[in-house]
Amino acid sequence: MTGFRHVALFTWIEGTTTAQAEEVAARLRDLPGVIPEIRAYSVGPDAGINPGSADFAIVADFADRDAYLAYRDNPTHRAVVEGMKPLIASRAAVQYEL
């Protein structure tokens, strides 16, 4: 496969409920139906197997860097990100060529 991948890892603030995390996941899972540049999209909570892991992950694949930038800057995506911000204690992300 060739393309471009975006991976984001989140740790929620203390007190974030399962319902809040599930709402974030649901809003994120709606994005492939709204943003045609998304080639593949996977989101979910940490499985809880290893200590020290982030709480939540997003893995998104795109045809190329420009498709990723269209996703990043899409108003619907930006609205989801803004809604997540109050719940985020930390975030790490990486983008790379496939």
How far apart, in whole angstroms, are the C-alpha atoms of residue 22 and residue 36?
23
pLDDT digits (tens, 9 = 90+) for 59-87: 999 999 999 999 999 999 999 999 999 99
Confidence of residue 45 (pLDDT cuts 50, 70, 90): very high
Confidence (pTM):
0.94
How far apart, in whole angstroms, are the C-alpha atoms of residue 81 and residue 72?
10
- In CATH terms, 4-50+58-97 corresponds, of 3.10.180.10, 3.30.70.100, 3.40.50.2300, 3.40.50.12780, to 3.30.70.100
Confidence of residue 30 (pLDDT cuts 50, 70, 90): very high
What the block records as the tokens of 74 is 């899409």
Domain extents in the chain: 4-50+58-97
